[in-house]
Amino acid sequence: MSAVIVVHGGAWAIPNDLAKASVDGVKAAACEGFAVLQKKGTALDAVESAVRALEDNAVFNAGHGATLNTEGEVEMDAIIMDGKTLACGAVSSVKNIANPVSLARAVMEKTDHVMLTDRGANLFAKTIGVDAVSSEKLVTNYERKEWEKHKNYVTGVKEDFNARWAHDTVGAVAVDYAGNVACATSTGGIRNKMVGRVGDCPAVGCGGYADNLCGAVSCTGHGESILKVTLARLILSHVEQGKSVEVASKISLKYMGERVRGAGGAIVVSPIGQWASTFTTERMAWAAVEKNVLYYGLEPNERRMERLS
Ligand code: ASP
């Protein structure tokens, strides 16, 4: 049984000036998550560590670098799920938290609930000793400028999630040496979203799902579309019907495009280590590590390979 990790840095029309940094960021995060698996860490530890690396990287729209809502504030969502027990934890609309994925994990492990939102999530963070960070630490100059430039949410999203208004969620899926799967997804959402808007990311079965019986998925793309078709669970229901993880992802993304005109992407891993990275937007930065080989890509059908030492 080989351990595998796959990560994504968001499906959207990634501009050329962010392309290299996005690919470098997902490669580094995949290696970080794989190092956890190699030390016999769990899939859950691996996805959390990969997503934390992406949240800390200001190139991506999660944690440091998150997009801003109509009032110019950061409001972030995250989910994590353990395929062994179906335990899951999520947070929505959190502010002043550097790593929402770890707060989601704490919700899963330290409360009787699955999701905490807004002030409640921040209050919980305080009780478990997670330090609040100032918003200014999370907001990059790049994001502040883009937000000033494009104050029109509707036009951006109408262009099939291919406009610069949209931004890149991050996520990871993994299977460990024991055959357990896990997923994690974290996002700042969509630039200029309404205050209080929650997308697909923290909704179980939409932004992510993990079940040792069929696999783990992390999604990215137009959140309202992903919610309507419960994309993560839809992909896994095709896997349950015998489709490969790649075919299941392609069918489900095609369905989302046809049924609700939404574009996006997904990464999937099965309990026996099959994996796929698929998207219907212009680009998606992704990377995977399997048996010491790093795979990565950005353009449709691009798959590059590097042997790790
Ligand atoms: N799915 C995220 C959301 O709608 C955005 C993204 O994936 O870029 O909040």
Task: Kindly report which listed range (35-49, 132-146, 179-193, 220-234) carries the lowest average pLDDT score.
Answer: 132-146
- Closest residue by Cα to atom 4, ligand 1, is 223
User: For residue 157, how far is its CA from the centre of ligand 1 (angstroms)?
Assistant: 11
User: For residue 100, how far is its CA from the centre of ligand 1 (angstroms)?
Assistant: 15
Q: Is the CB of 190 under 6 A from ligand 1?
A: yes
Residue 278: which of 293, 297, 304, 291 has the closest Cα? 297
pLDDT at 162 over 70: no
Report whether 183 contacts 80 (CB < 8 A): yes
Check residues 231 and 166 and name the one with the higher pLDDT.
231
pTM value? 0.94
What does the pLDDT look like over 252-287, one tens digit per residue?
999 999 999 999 999 999 999 999 999 999 999 999
Among the options 42, 169, 230, 281, which is catalytic?
169
Delimit the domains of the chain by residue range: 4-307
Token readout for 199 is 């997308």
Q: What are phi and psi of 239, to 5 degrees?
A: -65, -40
Q: Is the CB of 10 under 6 A from ligand 1?
A: yes
Q: What is the CATH number of domain 4-307?
A: 3.60.20.30
Task: Give the 3-state secondary structure of the chain.
Answer: CCCEEEEEEEEECCCHHHHHHHHHHHHHHHHHHHHHHHCCCCHHHHHHHHHHHHHHCCCCCCCCCCCECCCCCECEEEEEEECCCCEEEEEEEECCCCCHHHHHHHHHHHCCCCEEEHHHHHHHHHHCCCCCCCHHHHCCHHHHHHHHHCCCHHHHHHCCCCCCCCCCCEEEEEECCCCCEEEEEEECCCCCCCCCCCCCCCCECCCEEEECCCEEEEEEECHHHHHHHCHHHHHHHHHHCCCCHHHHHHHHHHHHHHHHCCCEEEEEECCCCCEEEEECCCEEEEEEEECCEEEEECCCCCCEEEECC
Residue 217, amino acid = V
User: For residue 188, how far is its CA from the centre of ligand 1 (angstroms)?
Assistant: 8
pLDDT at 213 over 50: yes
169 is catalytic: yes
Residue at token pair 């078709």: 229
Check residues 121 and 154 and name the one with the higher pLDDT.
121
Ligand 1 closest atom vs CA 77: 9
Task: Kindly report which listed range (93-102, 141-150, 175-184) carries the lowest average pLDDT score.
Answer: 141-150
Q: Is the CB of 221 under 6 A from ligand 1?
A: yes
Cα–Cα distance for residue pair 227/231, rounded to 1 Å: 7
**pLDDT over 90 percentage in the chain:** 80
Q: Is the CB of 169 under 6 A from ligand 1?
A: yes
User: For residue 266, how far is its CA from the centre of ligand 1 (angstroms)?
Assistant: 11
pLDDT at 167 over 80: no
Cα–Cα distance for residue pair 148/248, rounded to 1 Å: 39
pLDDT band at 53, cuts 50/70/90?
very high
Ligand 1 closest atom vs CA 167: 8
